[in-house]
Every structure is written in structure tokens, then in C-alpha cells.
Chains A and B, each alone.
Chain A
Amino acid sequence: MGTLDSRVPKGDSLSDKWSNYKEHINLVNPANKRNIDVIVVGTGLAGGSAAATLAELGYNVKAFCYQDSPRRAHSIAAQGGINAAKNYQGDGDSNYRLFYDTVKGGDYRSREANVHRLAEVSGNIIDQCVAQGVPFARDYGGLLDNRSFGGVLVSRTFYAKGQTGQQLLLGAYSAMNRQIARGKITMHNRHEMLDVVKVDGKARGIIARNLITGEIERHSAHAVVIASGGYGNVYFLSTNAMGSNATAAWKIHKKGAYFANPCYTQIHPTCIPRSGDYQSKLTLMSESLRNDGRIWVPKNLDDVKAIRDGSKKPTDLSQEERDYYLERRYPAFGNLVPRDVASRAAKERCDAGYGVNATGEAVYLDFASAIERYGKEQAKINNIDNPSSEKIYELGQAIVEAKYGNLFQMYEKIVDQNPYETPMMIYPAVHYTMGGVWVDYNLMTTIPGCYCIGEANFSDHGANRLGASALMQGLADGYFVLPYTIGDYLADDIRTGTISTESSEFDEAEKSVKEKLAFFINNKGSHSVDYYHKKLGNIMWEKCGMSRNKKGLEEAIQEIQEVRKDFWKNVKVPGSLNEFNQELEKAGRVADFIELGELFAKDALDREESCGGHFREEHVTEDGEAKRDDENYAYVAAWEYTGEPSEAILHKEQLEFKDIELKTRSYK
């Protein structure tokens, strides 16, 4: 077991670290930047913003995405918003408060200095995006509007309808387009990175497959940036896109990048419940709905039964017959508790038999009170005396529609029920992974010259991410952090010249990639890739899901190993190598998910405490809340690959909290 150096600048107070550090790191002269190449893998908020900014600075950027355009990266699906400590509402927000909320929300398992930096640059992100033409929501005075998200007591979330991720990504995409037009970014769409190439210990390129022709290509650079997103699809069913995968992150792990805290996974409380075995993915209903929606299940099991068999409708139940369990358990934060808390509370009620749909895995998210409240408010504004309840409903519904219309429409399309008339049914689903590739303060992995940004790294959200913070982190890394820190490393490369792809290192990497692909095509097994992916997903959900225990995790490790063995023996991939072959793409990704799943279970087993999204049944307080063990587990678990996930070596980065006192997280 080793220890890790986070390279957080010593000295200075927390709030001065980043500005002092920036002023003293090495720079690359503008004339030299044009002799330096940088590869960026992934074009979501982190990768897209990094590619654009690095190109603006003058580096030659080679960007890769598996989609047909950078604009389709899964950041596009983020709905609710982006946090920034602008304090436009005058409600007491500040960089410190955003920093504090994020560290507390992460259950004191994130790196203090990184989170403070994130809070410091949050305001710049909003300025930058507005300058790019991102159409954020505004109030009638023409100024930017805010909404509230879970786990905080201020209103600091900027949004663009329920499509904030889309608008921010299209902003980064537009910045990329400007650089593509200038020739500073060479864009490789429909390409998938299949390995990183190290020369003299440094990351110097990648092997990528052209997904249209199947051609295996070599690309060299002075540094490689991985921005390939999270690994939520290890569960098969998640809110991730179908193509979201961990391959780039896992390949660098196998070449020497430590993988940190894989067991920290966010299960989002408000998703549309699953309906059948054919289900291919789960759909999120934005956390912003919890601003106005109240979550409940019936108080009496008889009513649950009646609702399930259709003899009662949820709207038949009086207020007294409903259990608004979040408001009951957490009066201070109510329906706006953080995601991990809300998810576990839903599971607790459903496990106790109060689930309201046929599968017993659903709770209500109800807008009736909000409609009434807004209706009365509007009646007052419009000088309507003694409005009828129909009028109140009509006025209130219009407001709810203006705020959440696209989400309500999405719900109705999927579930075929009108959420204005009957409460939505929701259940937690895998949404985001806080764990990821270990990086230091510079966002560099343990492979020199290999960086990792956005959801793919581990650094900022600890054991639980707060709503609207993923967009903030992706853009902070890409626009405002990496472009500085990477210069410090590249300053040593101004005399290196172009990296040749004609070297034994590239030969070897290409050969092993080709062999693996050929194996899949030639195996002619008996089961499809999806068959294995679903098997893996089932183990992960049952044993590494919302609550975990020693026995289950040990079983999970064993079962995943069996799935892996069976996969490599019996997987069936039709078609050929040199063509557009989506089954072949999936095979490589699932192979990596199976290995990652095993490390995930191992990490969860090792962490003998409950914190954030990681809930160990052995470690609970008397009232059923997560019980941390700061004395023994206030560390980042960074795993070193040694050939088998089960034999990974643990390296600890001890977390220091100088500006924040470690406290039991309470939202009561």
C-alpha cells in the first residue's frame, strides 16, 4: 500500500491557493504552442470546453468522439441547471458557501483545494457562457434567473428551461466549431479510443478505431486528455446514453492510471420507474421538479393495495392518508434533501411495502399543492376576487407548465399518464459516478502527460454530487483549470518536436488492440453482448446498488468473475472487422465494464463505512442514516491495476480538512 501526492500547493490559505499557483506555474510561449499537439478524447462539457480553449491558446488539438458529432455527447441530456456562486439573488451566497455545500454534500470525501477552486471559477463559467450566446432563463427585468437545487439553502442554479446541458454543450460546441474552422482542432467523429500509447513512461498518443470503416488508426500528441464521462452503464440500466462507456478511462487505468473510489455512484431519486425486461435505459426527471413537487406514499398498506389493484386512485387519498416522508424525516430541507438521502428514503419506504406501482418500486411526486399555491398567487396578481377552484387550478397549471412543461410532456410520452392530473411515479436510478480516474491538483493522472477531466475523474464531488454541480465541474475543468495546468507540463516539451507514430510502442499497442477485436469476431460464441451486459447490470444493481453489505459484495465479486469467464468463452459478435459494426463496439465496452464492475465491488467491500452514495448496511446510525468513519476512512481509495481487478493495489490519499470541520451530515 502506498500513499499518493495530490500536489495541492502548500502554504497559502485555501482561498489564495489557486490564484497564487496560477501565477507561478510554467507557461508555454505562444510561438511554441503551435508546435505542441494535444489529444482530447470525448467532447462533452469537459472535453468540448477543453478542446476549444486549448485551441484558442494555440495548441494543435486532435479531438475524438464516438458520436457522429461532438454536439451529441451525453452532457446534452443534463436538464436542471448549473450552479455558480454569483449571489445575484442576494440570499447570502458566496464562493465559500458553494465550496462548503459541495464538500458537505459530498459527505466530506472530496479534496478541499479542488472544490474551493471549483467554487472560485463558477462565476466565470456563467459570464463565459452568456458571452457565447447561451440563452439562460431571465426574469422580466432581463436579468438572469435562478432556481434551487437539493442540499443547499440558497438559490444559485442557472438554467435554460429543462435543457441546460444542451445549451451549455452547444455553447462549447460552438467554441469548438470556431477552432475547427481555423484548423486548430482536427475533429475525429465516429472514432473510439481503444488504447493509450506510452513512450518513455509518458502518454504520447492513442490507438483509435474509425467506427465507419473499422480502420485502426494511430494518433500522437504531447499530452492526452481523457474526458469520456462516467461509468454508470456498468449497471446496464442507467440514465446514461446507450453509448456512454468507460473504455477510455479503463484503458488508461490498465496502463498505469490509478482508479479512485469506484464505489461512489449516484442513484438519482427522481427517475421514471422501469416497466419491463425489454427496458434499455431509464429516464431522469430533473431534480428541479423537487422545487415544487412533494414526494409521498400512502400511510396505510391497505391504500397501497387498493392503488395497485386500481380500486383507488392516488388523488382519492386525503392529506391525512398520505405520508410525505421526506418532509416528515427532514423538516429543514424537506423535499430538497440531497440525492443520496432522497433515494435511500424512497427505497426504505418501498422495501417496507409502500411502493405504489405493480413492481412495488415507485413513489409519488405530486404537483397538486404547487398548482394550487401558484394559482392563488396568480389570482391575486390578476386581481381576481374569490376565484373558483377551477380558476385556481387553471392559473396554477399554466405556471407549472411554463416551468416544467417539457419534463411533463416527456413523462406523459413514456408513461402514458397526464402528470397534471395524477401524481408522477418515480423511483431512483443510476445517474452519475463520482468515482473515476485519480488525478492530482493539476488534473493529471498517475501517467505523466495523461489528464482526466469532467465526470471521468474523481476529484470534486466526494461520495455524493449535488444537483447542478456536474455541469459546473465539466466546464470548470475544461475552460478554466486544465488549460492552465497542462501548460506547466507542456513547458518541458517545447523542443520535443512531433511525436512519431512509427515506434515500437505504437506497434505494440496497435497489435494488441487488433488482436482483441479479431478475437471477438472469430469467437462465434452463443450469447449476444447484451446478454452479458444485462447479467452484469443485474449483479451490480442487486449487490452494489443503493445499499450494500459484506456478504452481497463478496458474492458480487465472485459472480462478476464468472460472467467474465463466460463472456470471454461464449460471446458472439456478428459481422466483420472492417465495417460499421455496432455489436463489435459494444463488445469492447462491455468487456471493460465487467472488469470495472469487479473493482467497484472490491472498493465497496474495502470501504467499511457509509458515506454519500455508498451505503453499507453494517454502518448506520440509530435512526437509519449513513454513518461515516472519519478516523479510518477519510481517504481516497486509488487502485493500481496489476493484471486482475481483484488483485488491484490500494493507494491512499489522505484527505485533509483545514477549512471545514468534519461533521455528521444532517439535513433534518
Chain B
Amino acid sequence: MNLTLKIWRQKDANDKGKIVEYKVTDISEHMSFLEMMDVLNEQLVNSSDEPIAFDHDCREGICGMCSMYINGQAHGPDGGVTTCQLHMRSFKDGDTIYIEPFRANAFPVIKDLVVDRSAFDRIQHAGGYISVNTSGNTQDANSIPIAKDIADEAMDAATCIGCGACVATCKNSSAMLFVSAKVSQYALLPQGQVEATDRVMNMVAQMDAEGFGNCTNTGACEVECPKGISLENIARMNREYMKATSKG
């Protein structure tokens, strides 16, 4: 298939940036979206133009590095996938595709389609852990049974890949789904109870300090999340936060 691509180009964080149009031809429907981008970049290198910078790594939907906004949707039109898992069979010959970076005040553009998501790391530094040293003397892994449904629920929350699609798609650029996924994982497990109060307070404080917006329960984040992280996590985080503040 032949396609017209309208891609966001921005030299660096200080550049204003603009949409530039490119054409690609003979694209196979079996290609992944990023392989289509590879074809374009090879074209650009061969004609001595600068290739388009975009983040990508594992190309199997788990590292969370890829981050494009395609035709107005985080990770493109398919549900439940990251950009690297999107295939060209989701498009048709002659299509025009708009490709932009994830946009949020807390995710400044580094170059072209690459954004800085270090705010996510800083939120995790604030409390995304259980304080246990490595010693080889922790208690046996089976000494605390955890009901299967609870363990499964914690696992569902823990599958968040930290890609930032929730922020990019939210009209408020809220990071509530991301933060609540980690808060939930630990709130559900017995190991996470000891520090639950500090954890939710500190992570929420850092989230606010980074300039993410608030949640207005639109639910777009859940729809766009490639891993299907549920809105229930936000509800759970709100409960945890209420509990923590009432404890003082």
C-alpha cells in the first residue's frame, strides 16, 4: 500500500516544531507500524535527510518504550496494543496517517516523537517499592499464603508498562492510572501493608509536583491502556489516600 505520513518534527526541546509530510510506497500489510517507520527512515538516510527520532526497543509490547500518537490515538487505532504491536493491516492503501509525540506538560519533547517520561520514574522513587533489603534471610516465600484472586488482581495492576498512554490520552494529562496501578499492586498484597500510608501520600504528592492534571473520571486512560489496566485502580488509590489522610 501507499501512504501519506504527516509527522511531527522537532529538532530539540527548544524548537517550536511542525508537521512535515512524507510518502511511503509498497508497504506490506504484514509489517508492523514501526517497521513501516524503519522503511521511511532508511529512505531518509539514503537521501541524506535526518531520520525521524522515535523511541522503541523490545518491539513486542512489554518494555513500554514506544510512544506514538497515531491519528489522534495513543498507540494508534487498535485496542490493547502498543505502537510496536500495531500492524499495517489496520490501515488501507491511500491513507493519510498523522503521527505525533505523546503530549503532556509533564512529558516534554526531546526530539521529533521522543518525549521525556522521567516524571514517571520520580513518582516511583517517591514510594514505588517495599522496603526490604536483600539478605538471603527473608522468610520463606510460602510462609504467607495469598488468596489466588487477590494475587491475580495484584498481578493485573502490576502489568502496567509505564508507557504513558494514559497521560497522553487524558484531557487533563492525569497520571492517576499509572500511579494507582503501583499503589494498588502493593495495597492488595500483605507485603505492601506496612508502608501503605506513606506510599500513597508520597506518590500522590510527587505526581502533583510533576505537573500532571487531576482525574475527572472520563475513563479514556482505561480505553487506551495497551495492558487494560482498570479504572478500579484509581478508585482503590482514592480509598487508600482517604485512609491515609484520615490517619494523619
Chain A interface residues (CB < 8 Å from chain B): 49, 52-53, 56, 67-72, 74, 76-77, 86, 88, 121, 124, 126-133, 135-144, 160-161, 163, 165-167, 170, 173-175, 177-178, 180-181, 187, 189, 212, 239, 241-243, 275-276, 278-281, 283-284, 409-410, 413-414, 416, 479-480, 483, 528, 530, 572, 574-575, 579-580, 582-583
- B128 and A56 contact, CB distance less than 8 A: no
- Return the CB mask of B23-58 against A: 1 if under 8 Å, else 0: 000001011101100110010111011110101111
Contacts A138-B148, A144-B141, A574-B45 hold; do A174 and B134 have CB atoms under 8 A apart? no
Q: State whether the Cβ of B104 lies closer than 8 Å to any Cβ in chain A.
A: no
Q: Closest approach, in angstroms, between the C-beta of B143 and any C-beta of chain A?
A: 9
Query: For the complex, what is the distance from the CA of A130 to the CA of B80, rounded to whole Å?
Result: 28
- A174 and B128 contact, CB distance less than 8 A: yes
- A276 and B57 contact, CB distance less than 8 A: no
Contacts A130-B141, A133-B185, A580-B111 hold; do A68 and B117 have CB atoms under 8 A apart? yes
- A72 and B129 contact, CB distance less than 8 A: no
B87 touches which of A74, A416, A575 (Cβ 8 Å): A416
Interface of B is mostly: loop
Q: Closest approach, in angstroms, between the C-beta of B115 and any C-beta of chain A?
A: 9
- A128 and B53 contact, CB distance less than 8 A: no
- A280 and B32 contact, CB distance less than 8 A: yes
- A167 and B85 contact, CB distance less than 8 A: no
Identify 17 new A-B residue pairs, CB closer than 8 A, beyond the known A86-B141, A283-B60, A580-B53. A77-B58, A88-B142, A127-B140, A132-B132, A133-B186, A136-B151, A140-B148, A142-B147, A163-B62, A241-B57, A281-B60, A410-B85, A413-B81, A416-B87, A528-B45, A572-B48, A582-B51
Q: Closest approach, in angstroms, between the C-beta of B159 and any C-beta of chain A?
A: 6
List residues of chain A with CB within 8 A of the CB of B61: 410
- B133 and A56 contact, CB distance less than 8 A: yes
Cβ-Cβ contact count across A and B, 8 Å cutoff: 210
- Pick out which of these stretches binds chain A: B119-127, B168-176, B209-217, B233-241: B119-127
Query: For the complex, what is the distance from the CA of A488 to the CA of B78, rounded to whole Å?
Result: 54
Closest B residue to A79 by beta carbon equals B62
List residues of chain B with CB within 8 A of the CB of A175: 129, 134
- A132 and B130 contact, CB distance less than 8 A: yes
- B87 and A413 contact, CB distance less than 8 A: yes
Contacts A71-B64, A135-B185, A413-B81 hold; do A143 and B57 have CB atoms under 8 A apart? no
Query: For the complex, what is the distance from the CA of A189 to the CA of B121, rounded to whole Å?
Result: 10
- B87 and A178 contact, CB distance less than 8 A: no
List residues of chain A with CB within 8 A of the CB of B114: 580
List residues of chain A with CB within 8 A of the CB of B142: 86, 88, 143-144
Q: Closest approach, in angstroms, between the C-beta of A38 and any C-beta of chain B?
A: 15
Q: Closest approach, in angstroms, between the C-beta of A78 and any C-beta of chain B?
A: 9
Q: State whether the Cβ of B94 lies closer than 8 Å to any Cβ in chain A.
A: no
Q: State whether the Cβ of B248 lies closer than 8 Å to any Cβ in chain A.
A: no
List residues of chain A with CB within 8 A of the CB of B44: 574
List residues of chain B with CB within 8 A of the CB of A86: 141-142
Number of interface residues of B (CB under 8 A): 78
- A138 and B35 contact, CB distance less than 8 A: no
Query: For the complex, what is the distance from the CA of A56 to the CA of B62, rounded to whole Å?
Result: 28
List residues of chain B with CB within 8 A of the CB of A76: 58, 62-63
Query: For the complex, what is the distance from the CA of A144 to the CA of B63, rounded to whole Å?
Result: 26
Query: For the complex, what is the distance from the CA of A140 to the CA of B130, rounded to whole Å?
Result: 25
Sample of 18 A–B contacts (CB below 8 Å): A69-B117, A69-B120, A72-B58, A86-B142, A127-B140, A131-B191, A138-B146, A144-B142, A163-B159, A167-B155, A167-B158, A170-B158, A173-B124, A181-B125, A239-B60, A242-B59, A243-B57, A276-B28
Query: For the complex, what is the distance from the CA of A164 to the CA of B134, rounded to whole Å?
Result: 19
A580 touches which of B58, B110, B146, B147 (Cβ 8 Å): B110
Q: Which 3 pairs show the lowest CB-CB distances between chains A and B?
A: A142-B145, A174-B129, A135-B155
List residues of chain A with CB within 8 A of the CB of B130: 131-133, 174
List residues of chain A with CB within 8 A of the CB of B159: 161, 163, 166
A72 touches which of B59, B64, B78, B111 (Cβ 8 Å): B64
- Return the CB mask of B180-195 against A: 1 if under 8 Å, else 0: 0000011001011000
Q: State whether the Cβ of B12 lies closer than 8 Å to any Cβ in chain A.
A: yes
List residues of chain A with CB within 8 A of the CB of B192: 133
- B134 and A479 contact, CB distance less than 8 A: yes
- B80 and A409 contact, CB distance less than 8 A: yes
Q: State whether the Cβ of B65 lies closer than 8 Å to any Cβ in chain A.
A: yes
List residues of chain A with CB within 8 A of the CB of B55: 68
